[in-house]
Structure 1
Amino acid sequence: MKQFPFFIILLFISSCQYFEKQIPSEKELLQKELKSINWKEVDEFPSVVDCEKVNDKKLRQQCFFEVMAQLIQEKLDIDTLSILYPELDTIEVKVTIFPNSSMKFEPQFSKDSVAYDTIKIDSILQARLVDFPKVNPAIKRGVPVKTQLILPIIIKAKEEKK
């Protein structure tokens, strides 16, 4: 029994290492959290009112792409792109959706597109691609974020319309 207090003191001294844990700094925690975030994906894709009722994430994304492509295509159908450039059947349009719900459209041309007047096509796109319905921006961790997507838009020839 006389050795019991000595044993308790020895146990207390040796167990102090279990209580002295280093607390990581704020910067270390921030860096660890930033590395764990997948910056290539968003929690919720941009959406339009027509797609809000879809609950499945993949189906909502597909709905958004289809609605946007259809809206862009409708706005370009009334123009002369198919007459000016009959060999041009598809234009890839980079759509940027900003956190404030504004949008920017940029045509994407391949390296061998010297046959097209890219400035003229860009000006036609900028003139036609206005007055879109409200688009809700993408959400990442509860915060609206900027997203970019490329939509292939099929240019319909005028003789196909009847």
Structure 2
Amino acid sequence: MKKISLFIFLLSLNSCQFFDKKAPDEQELLEQELKKINWKEVDEFPTAFSCDSILDTELQKQCFFDNIIQNIQSRIGVDTLQIMYPEIDTIKVKVTIHPDAKIQFETQIPKGTVSYDIALIDSILQQKLSDFPRIEPAIKRGIKVKSQFVLPVVINVAE
């Protein structure tokens, strides 16, 4: 009995050091976890309805970009922009997809080019793309997140 008591006593002395260790601070754990996350990349890219069935992520991503560019081109290609600005063959469109699947389009014209009425081009773009097909937002760690892309859109096809 004495041996068992001595053994329990020694064991309890050794186990006391386990209680001295402090649990990591909640804020410290959060900061460590946030540092591990690559905020520049998403787990799943946004997707258009026509690309849902593709399983390969790279092919789905390419399908998504091709789908958006083709959709924008078909809506603004042979229209007002081509008549008003025949010298512009390509515009860059900044596409922002919000977590609630709301889509924003913004024209980006390179600096140093002939000055254009960007507000007018933007308003035409907004009008033509107002009923754009639904796009599911990007996903990061199971949460829908905002994503932005700048896409080259050809508006004047050489004949």
After TM superposition, the score normalised by the length of structure 1 is 0.86
Are 2:37 and 1:34 equivalent residues in the alignment? no
Percent of matched pairs sharing the same residue: 54
Query: 1:50 maps to which residue?
Result: 50
Structure 1 letter corresponding to 2:142? G
Residue number in structure 2 paired with 1:139: 139
Residues 13-24 of structure 1 aligned to structure 2 (within 5 Å): 13=13, 16-24=16-24
One-letter identity of the residue aligned with 1:130: S
Residue number in structure 2 paired with 1:106: 106
Could you tell me how far 1:128 is from its partner in structure 2? 0.9
Mapped to 2, the partners of 1:21 and 1:58 lie a distance apart of: 47
CA RMSD of aligned residues (A): 2.2
Deviations 1:124-144 (A, max 9, x none): 111111211111111111111
CA distance in 2, matches of 1:75, 1:84: 16
2:130 partner SS = coil
CA distance in 2 between counterparts of 1:123 and 1:149 reads: 19
Matches within 5 A, 1:72-83: 72-83=72-83
> 1:97 aligned to 2:97?
yes
Query: What residue identity is the alignment partner of 1:21?
Result: K
What does the per-residue CA deviation read over 1:100-132, in whole Å, with 9 as the maximum and x for residues that have no partner? 111000001212134322222112111111211
Q: Which residue of 2 aligns with 1:115?
A: 115
C-alpha displacement at 1:13, in angstroms?
A: 3.2
Q: Does the 8 Å contact 2:92/2:153 carry over to 1?
A: yes
Total equivalences in the alignment: 158
Deviation at 1:78, TM superposition (A): 3.5
Deviates more, 1:87-96 or 1:122-131: 122-131
Unaligned 5+ segments in structure 1 are none
Displacement of 1:8: 7.5
1:75 corresponds to which letter in structure 2?
A: R
Partner of residue 68, structure 2: 68
SS at match of 1:115: coil
Amino acid corresponding to residue 86 of structure 1 in structure 2:
P
Cα separation, 2, equivalents of 1:115 and 1:15: 76
Residue 14 of structure 1 deviates from its aligned partner by 5.0
Aligned to 2:155: 155
TM-score normalised by length of structure 2: 0.87
Equivalent residue, structure 2, for 1:128 = 128
